[in-house]
Amino acid sequence: MMVMTTRHANKTEAMAMSMSMAIPTLPNEVIAEILSRLPVKSLGQFRCVSKPWLSLLSDPHFIKMHLKQKLSHKLFMYFMFWLKIQSLDYEALVSGDDDEKSAVKNLQLPVAMGSLRGVRILGSCNGLLCLGIGDNGIIMWNPCIGEYKRLQEPSGLGSYGFGYDCCNDDYKLVKVIPRNGSDEISVDVFSLKTNSWRSVCYGGHSFDLLDDRGTLLNGSVYWQAKREDTKETKFIIVSFDLVKEKFRELPKPDSKFAEGPLLGVLGESLCACRSLFGKDVEVWTMTEEGAKVSWIKFATVSLEMEPEYIREYSVPLCFAKNGEAIMLKGGLQLDAYNLKENNYRRIYISPIGHCEFDGTVYVESLVSPNAYDGAHSQSPRIGENAQEKVEE
């Protein structure tokens, strides 16, 4: 009996050795390249395959490689006021691969609140959402991997901008607070890398930002703004460079923009929108050559049949892969605009009557808000759920 067992064990070992010789071992670079093309949910399952894979999937270089692959597939993350948080795969709706039910996913905040009344989107960058949660401060949250970081903020009402500083490999949140009754403004910047706030000196002309949150593009945040001169109120566009931490004043597209335009992004260009003659929406794109800024009228979208609140609040979000421009209209619907044929089609509308939603473009990524301090135990791993109780 002992002999039989020994022979069986030897046979099993020989088979295993034969299989290992038959299956070629791929170079680590090839494995990383293959895995970088997979969705985050699949990578969450692969963390359990082996310690080397766990190490690879947690490596900052791999996380950046994966992010680069996913930047071309964006989602629309939105908060339906007071009711729910959802993500929408607009690419699936544009291409017709999925119906609306399949394209929409419900999400849950990592902190428990009685309602979403006090939640505000402050920014979105590389899979991180920056959210204001009422009187309980701010969280940086990656809903795809379930990790988040809480931070307190300087007191006072202000406008926000959130983005990535590529030179210092840092995510920054800027808060601009006007100093009522004076010519100064307060500028505070939170660095995720140092986990701290610091004040930034601003010595230029005072201005009031008209947007609660800025529009992020290529390492700078843009806001509508106005400045009170001695003779008139001047409407301008203001940008903040997240690397240099400097403000810059930009001109409006033309004098017909009596007030600050609605800002958005298409491709690699900043866009400014305005309602024209109560029936059309003009979309202008900004180009830069050195220090010179110029604007070109990119498109005119006919919205004569739409209600006024739709025309007045139409903002381009991004291009879909098929070249159509995705536009958020009136805080109630998403449309895909065909530039060649000069027409549009509705791809999503608020399912609850006139319940508006506040949304932003979002990408699924492995970027952790706790990467710089190694505190990955604050919240669950990919695919799990947990909530921290927050008093309202």
Residue-wise pLDDT for 237-266, tens only, equals 999 999 999 999 988 887 666 665 689 998
Q: pLDDT value at position 195?
A: 94
d(CA 111, CA 391): 10
Q: How far is CA 168 from CA 197, 199, 358, in A?
A: 16, 18, 30
Low-confidence ranges of the chain (pLDDT < 70): 1-24, 79-83, 113-117, 179-183, 203, 230, 255-261, 276-279, 303-312, 331, 351-356, 374-392
134 in Cβ contact with 149 (< 8 Å)? no
d(CA 125, CA 162): 7
Q: Where in the chain is CATH 2.120.10.80?
A: 71-372
Q: What is the DSSP letter of 300?
A: E
Q: pLDDT value at position 231?
A: 74
Q: pLDDT value at position 220?
A: 96
Element containing residue 6 per DSSP (H, E) = helix 2-22
- Beta carbons within 8 Å of 344's beta carbon, 6+ residues apart: 301, 327, 335, 336, 337, 338
For residue 17, the SS3 value is: helix
Q: Residue 173: left (phi > 0), alpha (psi -120 to 50), or beta? A: beta
Architecture of domain 71-372: 6 Propeller (2.120)
For the entire predicted model, the pTM comes to 0.83
Q: pLDDT value at position 383?
A: 44
Q: pLDDT value at position 83?
A: 60
357 in Cβ contact with 107 (< 8 Å)? no
First to last CA, the chain: 71
Q: pLDDT value at position 230?
A: 66
pLDDT digits (tens, 9 = 90+) for 73-92: 888 877 665 567 888 888 88
